[in-house]
A and B are shown apart, each in its own frame.
Chain A
Amino acid sequence: MARYLLLRLLDLVPTVFLVLTLVFIAMRILPGDPALAALGANADGGQLEAFRERMGLNDPLWLQYVHFLWDAVRLDFGNSLMSNIPISTLIANNLPHTVYLTIVSVALGLFIGIPLGLYAATQRNKLPDNALRIYSLIGYSVPDFYLGAILLIVFSLNLGWFPINGAGEGFWDGLHHIFLPALSLALLKSAFLGRLTRTSLLEVLGRDYVRTARAKGAREGRVIFRHGLRNAMLPLSTGIGISILATLSGAVAIELVFNRPGIGRLLISAIQERDYPVIQAGVMMFATFVVLVNLLMDIVYIFIDPRIRMKS
């Protein structure tokens, strides 16, 4: 098992390397001069040249690439061009908020989605099942930033039940601040996970081993949870992984709508200000996040499925 995990971790190296290379190439292809962007239109030729020399932009491309990789390995992303704050500090300040938003919204999505899916599966083609179908349709169709804006207007601005922006201080205040943003992201998640729970569970409940469980004398509750849901967890955990990853794109918009700190908002403002090193670091953070979530899912599979455990 430890060996399997180690191998999976080693698998990540080429992926991260590829991402780094793509980021490097993208940054060199992007239109615009980083020196000009950093120093502004008023800088004279000498200043620009001095900047390029200092940042190593005059080095041959391969040498820039080697420097870039070496810095990335040491997690040294340099400083922001705009604020001159070390990027590692920016990330350390913003990343926890995005991770927190991801956890809370996925948890909400699970708490809403899985019971809905379970109930719909047991009431197949009856009212609850059709209700879930409509709920999912709405969940898929309403964009999260739109829902976020509506929630913000209704519950924060008009009713004043929730704070309007920021992330809050301390646990309870933080929870108070994160509720609406997380809920905005959770609608789609619960719609997706609800449908997935229903489909996976119905598929599993039709299997022969579920009939065996009934023939043993297991009651419906036990059949559904012990034999059904546990087996449905295999496709479901993949869905949860997808749902976690989807939070990234959702967080970009939601952090803007609710004016919350986070990697998404950091990245958006960096793009607006052509703050190349920050964009570079932000894209890498996202890529690393994707890769780590995939690894996490692989670990979850091992715990759920003895067949994978055996092979490793």
Chain B
Amino acid sequence: MAEPRTASTPSTPAAAPARPAERAPEPAPAGAPASGAARPPLRHRLAERGIDRMLLLLLPAVATLIALFLYPMLYGVGLSLQPRSGGIFANYVAFFTDPYQSGTVWKTMRLALPAALFNVLASVPIAYRLRGRFRGKRLLTAILVLPVTLGTVLVADGILRYFGPRGWFNRVLLELGLIDEPLRLIYNYWGVLFSLIITGFPFAFLLVLSYMSGIDPTLERAAATLGAGPWQRIRRITLPLLAPGLATTFILSFVLAFSVFPSANLVGEPADETRVMAIAAYQAAFEKYDYTMASTIAVLMGAFELVVIALVLLWRGRMYTGHTGGKGA
């Protein structure tokens, strides 16, 4: 009885949901005990595990991701194990033995970690000031979030003009007599770091602000009633509740900063000081046409990033992760 319906549904998944759930508690059909006493139909057994026709709605999305993401990733891993010469790990050995290549790991981390850390830590006091409701909050938030739309190229362009030796920044410092000759802030590490902060800060701030608004303000008031001073309230109430959110923000900021590519090329020193992994991978693929090496670097890039994320998550796992009592929780 059940078979024809199952067979007809894949063409009309729209008719699926809810019915299997209604049917699940029914006893097995009368004919069943004769054939196999303890075996309810497969469909029912699957439904008990939450697998029913509603999951067909997931199918297009999952299939798309498998085709466009998972398969290419595995293809890339496979490609990285088929080097042009040598054994299957020859590419990985080549990467780690060549300081010009393996140095990119350190150069990427040296940019991404401080940028992400700065963006998160700078957001905390500002978000703390901005929590709660007051007039102008929306305007100020919008101004702080605006740089999200600037895009890496405009920021890079602006950094070249503004922080350049003849830019306004150096001019003001020279006029004030703070420096004797222009600071060198572009085409090196600092230019890239600035661009990562300008593009990454608004994003980190937005996240931290939303976590901060999610903390129930009455908790702090209760602490104040019990005699806690402002610093104690921040250190014992707000920060512990905020810490897991900060970890998440750090991860997402780190992901953004880790894939730095355009700014490292435009305002950095892509041949040396800011030759990050993304540049190395791009050069291998589209300048040397060595797709196996490019895939190797891409795989390593993902691996190194996931290691950092895993470490942060481990640390986060040791903290309080319950809800924070506020509207956002």
Q: Is this pair of chains taken from one and the same complex? A: no
